[in-house]
Amino acid sequence: MDSQQHGEQLKRGLKNRHIQLIALGGAIGTGLFLGSASVIQSAGPGIILGYAVAGFIAFLIMRQLGEMVVEEPVAGSFSHFAYKYWGGFAGFASGWNYWVLYVLVAMAELTAVGKYIQFWYPEIPTWASAAAFFVIINAINLTNVKVFGEMEFWFAIIKVIAVIAMILFGAWLLFSDTAGPQATVRNLWEQGGFLPHGWTGLVMMMAIIMFSFGGLELVGITAAEADNPEQSIPKATNQVIYRILIFYIGSLA
């Protein structure tokens, strides 16, 4: 009841386009841009299968969460539903577990930012860029929800453009002679095979693969601040599977 009352007090300033791009931005993160390198090294081309399986699981979870959120668009998302339908301890544990998770994820994301900045500007120490982005991101989060939605929208657009550029560049290398004979689809089953380290390598990497989809649940969390959750939440949820196929499997393949 408390979370429902709190949800009713929140300003519903997120438009449909904000929800769509928040969902898309949550699906595209450092797990794709940075973490996929170690996954490819350890599991080989078999990661395509791993991302497909993990994406299907993420879609099922998002579909279930989306149905509950549309029925009851309140603050608290899955923590509220765990408390309501499972019990007090389940709601308490899931809520605090998610809080701790995002503290750790935030540190990992800031570390990734530091590595990116240091790659382009080696003279800038990792801690300096991480601290700068820590202040910037917190400043954005402390503003009103409409500003937050706009920033998420444009940041997600940048990531989408980057992924599309990766896919187009890879296709150009594949179908042109620029990269030489080594650029071929036969690499998916040659050079050690589809699973060069066997199923063990793929299973060991599933944790990193699943981490890549962290952020999809933000669709449910935004329900309490969406101006029309009955339309925007189902649309964002149902499009998750297409985003996974295009942006993850397409770019990695």
The pLDDT tens digits of the residues spanning 59-87 come to 888 888 878 887 877 777 778 888 888 88
Task: Identify residue 130 by its one-letter amino acid code.
Answer: A
pLDDT of residue 11: 66
pLDDT of residue 5: 42
Residue 125, CA distances (Å) to 110, 119, 147, 217 in order: 13, 10, 30, 33
pLDDT of residue 6: 45
Tokens 């940075």, located at residue: 34
User: What residue segments make up the domains of the chain, in order of their start?
Assistant: 2-81+145-252
pLDDT of residue 3: 44
pTM: 0.75
* Cα dihedral across residues 204, 206, 212, 214: positive or negative: negative
Asked if residues 63 and 237 have their Cβ atoms less than 8 Å apart, the reply is: yes
pLDDT along the chain (253 residues), means of 10: 47 73 75 74 81 84 81 77 87 88 84 87 89 87 79 85 86 76 70 78 81 75 72 75 75 72
Asked if residues 226 and 23 have their Cβ atoms less than 8 Å apart, the reply is: no
Residue 52, CA distances (Å) to 130, 173, 206, 220, 242 in order: 32, 24, 11, 22, 11
pLDDT of residue 4: 45
106: closest CA among 128, 138, 80, 62?
138
